[in-house]
Amino acid sequence: MEETTNKSGMSTGMIIGIAVIVAIVFGGGAYAYVNNKAEKEKKDLKAQITELQSQVSSATTATTVPSSATSATTATDATASWKTYTNSSSGFSLKYPSNYYYKESTNASGQTVEFSNYAIVDNSEPGSAKGDQFGIFVEIQATNASNDTTAGRIDSYKIGDYTVYNMATESGSTTLNGKITVINKTGNTFVVHSDKPSSDSALADWKSKFDTILSTLQFSK
Are the C-beta atoms of residues 171 and 178 closer than 8 Å to each other? no
- The fold of the 72-219 domain, in CATH, is Jelly Rolls (2.60.120)
Q: Which residues of 72-89 are buried (b: 16+ CB within 10 A; e: fewer)?
A: eeeeeebbeebbebebee
- Kindly report the pTM of this predicted structure: 0.60
- What is the distance between the alpha carbons of residues 136 and 199, in angstroms, rounded to a whole number? 10
Contact 179, 210 (CB under 8 A): yes
Task: Profile the chain (221 residues) by mean pLDDT over runs of 10 residues.
Answer: 54 66 61 66 76 72 51 65 91 89 80 76 53 61 63 91 91 88 83 86 88 93 72
Query: What is the C-alpha separation between 183 and 9, in angstroms, rounded?
Result: 120
pLDDT computed for residue 45 by the predictor: 72
